[in-house]
Amino acid sequence: MTVDAHQHFWRYEPRDYAWIDERMNVLKRNFLPGDLGPLLRENAVDRTIAVQACQTDAETQWLLQLAAANPFIAGVVGWVDLQADDIEDRLELLAADAKLVGIRHVLQSEPDDAFMLRPEFRRGVAALAAHGLVYDILIYPRHLPIAWDFVGHFATQSFVLDHLAKPEISSRSIDEWARDLRRLAQHPNVWCKVSGLVTEADWQRWTANDLEPYLDVAFECFGAGRLIAGSDWPVCTLAGDYSRTMTVLRDYLERRTPEERDAVLGGNAQRLYKRGFF
């Protein structure tokens, strides 16, 4: 089974998706399962994980409704206010839907770089494991040392780092990011999504060679056993269509064993987000 473990849907409203700025005008429309389905068939992708793009309870419920109506959506990484006093009750209600496989908060946009270390936030994250929910970490390279500290508070919680923490590929900055990624990867309960890289490169002129050094570091840090493929559709279309985005990783994996390719392209996603598959 091939799994795209990171894609988005939205019904575009400027207020809800304010992060879509003027450079991203092509994203200022609805993106729905009917748009993605043909792309999955053309690229032999069997299942997806739909990930939140708006921090509202309403979007999480809507994504779960889409998952119920579209079998190719294996699971949803939604949002909930992890700092809420009644977080345990909220999670119990949400987790009653087996399609909910994880939770994400947009840490990269918080004014406080150390937001994830707040006691109230950590208390919410600590409640996820009881429900078998993964926490998706969305950060920039500068947050990696803080994420290392954050993850160290949780022995049994599964984490996945989205987009390799968005390395600055367009400026070819790699050394500090690679050092901090290696340190975070020492936590065995942290996985990593090979996703979102094309939009960190030069949108108009990137090539596979630009991405290769970053993929090399990812494999060095996490090995084939903790890397997970994702397209970041439709955000990826800022820099390349769905097929080109997925083909870059598939071509890179040709140098790996069949077992490693199968793990990155689907097996690992099933192991991590198992609520949605089993």
Domain coordinates of the chain in residue numbers? Answer: 3-276
Q: Mean pLDDT over all residues of the chain?
A: 97
| φ/ψ (deg, to 5) at 244 | -65, -40
* Rounded Cα gap, residues 129 and 117, in angstroms: 18
Q: Is the pLDDT of residue 219 over 80?
A: yes
Is the pLDDT assigned to residue 242 strictly greater than 90? yes
DSSP state of 201: S
Q: Compute the average pLDDT of residues 17-41.
A: 97
pLDDT of residue 154 exceeding 90: yes
Which pLDDT tens digit goes with each residue over 23-33? 999 999 999 99
Q: What is the mean pLDDT of residues 150-172?
A: 97
Using the predicted structure, report yes or no on whether residue 224 has a pLDDT greater than 90.
yes
CA–CA distance, 260 with 108 (Å, rounded to integer): 30
pLDDT of 111 reads 97
194 and 218 in contact (C-beta within 8 Å)? yes
- CA-nearest of 27, 32, 50, 31 to 238 is 27
Percent of the chain with pLDDT over 70: 100
Using CA atoms of 64, 69, 72, 75 in order, give the dihedral in degrees to the nearest 10.
20
Give the sheet arrangement for strand 134-137, strand by strand. 3-7, 47-51, 73-78, 100-105, 134-137, 159-161, 190-194, 227-229
Render pLDDT for 84-95 as a digit per residue (tens, 0 to 9): 999 999 999 999
pLDDT at 278: 77
pLDDT in tens, 104-145: 999 999 999 999 999 999 999 999 999 999 999 999 999 999
> Would you state the structure tokens that stand for residue 49, as one six-digit string?
């994980």
User: Residue 256 is encoded by which pair of tokens?
Assistant: 């790996």
Find how far residue 268's CA is from the centre of its chain. 13
Which DSSP string do the residues of 129-188 spell out, in sequence order?
Answer: GGGT-EEEE---GGGHHHHHHHHTT-SS--EEEGGGG---GGGT--HHHHHHHHHHHTST
At residue 5, the 3 state secondary structure works out as strand
The continuous run of DSSP H or E covering 41 comes out as: helix 33-42
Domain 3-276 falls under CATH 3.20.20.140: yes
Asked whether 52 and 253 are in contact (CB, 8 A), the reply is no
Amino acid, res. 89: D
* pLDDT, tens digit, 9 for 90 and up, residues 171-194: 999 999 999 999 999 999 999 999
Query: What's the pLDDT score for residue 138?
Result: 98
d(CA 110, CA 112): 5
- Cβ-contact 252, 213 below 8 angstroms: no
Q: In which residue are the tokens 């998952």 written?
A: 67
Beta-bridged to residue 227, according to DSSP, are 192
pLDDT band at residue 162, thresholds of 50, 70 and 90? very high
Strand 134-137, strand 190-194: pairing: unpaired
Q: Taking residues 75-84, report their average pLDDT.
A: 98
